[in-house]
């Protein structure tokens, strides 16, 4: 006793091909197919009848090289997986590079901000120095003018006579 599915496997044909053959020769197979639940079993006589008809009318099995095609697809899949892994590695490396560049940019921006702040302080100091210089120049001019006036007054005092100086005239 063998199931239809097992018989199909043994003969390297599909379940449907055997089912059609049973339908075609159902008069000869009457009483030799036993049904239990939903499974149909072939007795030894049924197997012999089906084998005889298969020899008389052989089914030509077309070899479709499915194994070769499957091997090709498996190889292609492996190659694609390798490429995906390589691309993932590249993406990971690029992410790492990007992270490093961002850190460098942040560092440079902070450095630039500090330098800008120092530059502004220097500008403010230079402006303050210029203001102090102008103030000193102005004071110097005033002192020079005062010295000049005092020299002139001293010269006038020298040019006055002894008695004029003595009496303050």
Distance CA 90, CA 93 (A): 5
Alpha carbons within 13 A on the beta-carbon side of 108:
6
**Cα separation of the two ends of the chain:** 161
User: How is residue 158 annotated by DSSP?
Assistant: H
Task: Name 1's Cβ contacts closer than 8 Å, sequence gap at least 6.
Answer: 34, 41, 42, 43, 44
Task: Give the pLDDT score at 62.
Answer: 52
| pLDDT tens sequence across 59-103 | 555 555 677 888 999 999 999 999 999 999 999 999 999 999 999
Residue 59: other Cβ atoms inside 10 A: 13
The DSSP letter of residue 79 is H
Which residues in the chain show pLDDT less than 50?
A: none
- Let me know: does 32 contact 43? Beta carbons within 8 Å: yes
Q: How far apart are CA 52 and CA 22, in angstroms?
A: 13
**Burial group, residue 43, by CB count within 10 angstroms (0-12, 13-18, 19+):** middle
Within its chain, how far is the Cα of 135 from the centroid? 62
Residue 18: count of CB within 10 angstroms of its CB:
22
Helix segments in the chain, DSSP class H: 4-10, 15-24, 26-29, 44-56, 66-159, 162-167
Rounded to an integer, what is the distance from CA 80 to the centroid of its chain?
19
| The overall pTM is greater than 0.75 | no
Q: What is the pLDDT of residue 64?
A: 59
pLDDT value of residue 29: 85
């Amino acid at each position: 006793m063998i199931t239809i599915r097992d018989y199909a496997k043994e003969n390297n044909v599909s379940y449907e091909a055997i089912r059609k053959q049973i339908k075609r020769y159902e008069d000869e197979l009457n009483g030799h197919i036993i049904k239990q639940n939903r499974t149909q079993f072939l007795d030894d006589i049924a197997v012999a009848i089906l084998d005889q008809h298969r020899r008389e009318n052989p089914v030509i099995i077309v070899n479709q090289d499915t194994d070769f095609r499957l091997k090709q697809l498996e190889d292609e899949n492996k190659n694609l997986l390798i490429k995906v892994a390589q691309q993932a590695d590249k993406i990971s490396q690029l992410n790492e590079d990007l992270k490093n560049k961002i850190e460098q940019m942040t560092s440079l921006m902070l450095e630039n901000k500090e330098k800008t702040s120092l530059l502004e302080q220097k500008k403010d100091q230079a402006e303050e120095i210029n203001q102090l210089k102008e103030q000193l120049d102005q004071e110097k001019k005033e002192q020079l003018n005062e010295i000049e006036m005092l020299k002139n007054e001293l010269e006038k005092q020298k040019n006055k006579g002894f008695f004029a100086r003595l009496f303050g005239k």
